[in-house]
């Protein structure tokens, strides 16, 4: 565990805790989203009489996904609409409107079908935080799985009711680590003061750097994904077990 002294600045005074979604609240079995997107597209395009080889869809998807990653790193919004446009261009740009809509809706349907489940201990952690009167929220970067599908996944496992607020980059117009998305979340959580607020996430570049820039305590959760990125700051606290978070913050567990 790193940075315990940082938390000692305000023992018992934590006002709000925000969480990243991917690999912090819920995690995807590696490759599942890609697999299900290709599966859905094969089904829906065949019904429309559109004949595309598997390798064509794979290539178009992978190029669009890489464009999303590059845009995400650069802080440029890239969502399903841009993903579809990028795919159509790779597929020679001659798809009918119905086929383009099938590509777009496939991103959502794949999110529903993919192997995505809650991270271990997240339900108990959230329950303990709320039992200690700490406000809780999600700050989630949105790319090719739309925010309504993220909410559906939370609802499926009964997790959405454990959050007071959900903030998505496609609604705010900023990806982490932009300070604005953290400020937006804290304002929505009753104006919680950043020095008395905590953000939990798996990525140094987005979650850790953004939280620190916003003046929050940064917690890096590595129970699903270990971010070994070089040249980026690490968190005040590093946790492998979400069940340890309340006690680490000086709250009843």
| pLDDT at res. 94 | 79
Task: For residue range 113-145, list pLDDT tens digits in order.
Answer: 999 999 999 999 999 999 999 999 999 999 999
User: What is the C-alpha to C-alpha distance for residues 41 and 173, in angstroms, rounded to an integer?
Assistant: 28
Write down the mean pLDDT value for the chain.
Answer: 93
Q: Model confidence at 157, in pLDDT bands (50, 70, 90)?
A: very high
| pLDDT at res. 11 | 47
Task: For residue range 83-96, list pLDDT tens digits in order.
Answer: 999 999 999 777 89
User: What is the C-alpha to C-alpha distance for residues 101 and 76, in angstroms, rounded to an integer?
Assistant: 23
| pLDDT at res. 223 | 97
H runs (alpha helix) in 75-228:
80-90, 97-113, 122-131, 147-156, 169-172, 179-188, 209-213
H runs (alpha helix) in 118-252:
122-131, 147-156, 169-172, 179-188, 209-213, 245-248
Check whether 6 has a pLDDT greater than 50.
no
Task: For the chain, give the percent of residues with pLDDT over 70.
Answer: 94
| pLDDT at res. 10 | 47
- If one looks up domain 4-28+116-248 in CATH, what number appears? 3.40.50.1000
| pLDDT at res. 5 | 39
Burial 135-174 (b: 16+ CB within 10 A, else e): bbbbbbbbbbbbbebbbebbeeeebeebbbbbbbbbebeb
- The pTM score is 0.93
């Amino acid at each position: 565990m790193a940075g315990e002294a940082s938390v000692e600045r305000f023992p018992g005074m934590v006002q709000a805790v925000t969480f990243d979604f991917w690999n912090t609240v819920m995690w995807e079995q590696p490759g599942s989203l890609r697999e299900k997107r290709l599966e859905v597209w094969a089904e829906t395009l065949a019904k429309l009489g559109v004949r595309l080889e598997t390798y064509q869809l794979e290539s178009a998807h992978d190029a669009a996904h890489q464009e999303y990653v590059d845009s995400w790193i650069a802080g440029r919004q890239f969502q399903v609409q841009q993903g579809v446009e990028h795919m159509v261009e790779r597929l020679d740009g001659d798809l009918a409107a119905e086929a383009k809509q099938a590509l777009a809706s496939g991103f959502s349907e794949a999110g529903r079908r993919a192997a995505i489940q809650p991270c271990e201990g997240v339900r108990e952690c959230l329950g303990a935080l709320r039992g200690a009167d700490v406000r809780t929220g999600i700050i989630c970067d949105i790319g090719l799985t739309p925010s309504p599908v993220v909410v559906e996944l939370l609802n499926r496992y009964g997790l959405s009711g454990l959050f007071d607020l959900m903030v998505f980059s496609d609604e705010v117009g900023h990806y982490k680590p932009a300070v604005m998305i953290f400020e937006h979340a804290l304002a929505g959580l009753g104006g919680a003061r950043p020095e008395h607020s905590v953000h939990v996430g798996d990525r140094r570049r987005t979650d850790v750097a953004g939280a620190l820039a916003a003046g929050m305590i940064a917690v890096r959760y590595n129970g699903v994904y270990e971010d070994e990125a070089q040249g980026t700051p690490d968190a005040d606290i590093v946790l492998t077990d979400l069940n340890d978070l309340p006690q680490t913050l000086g709250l009843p567990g």
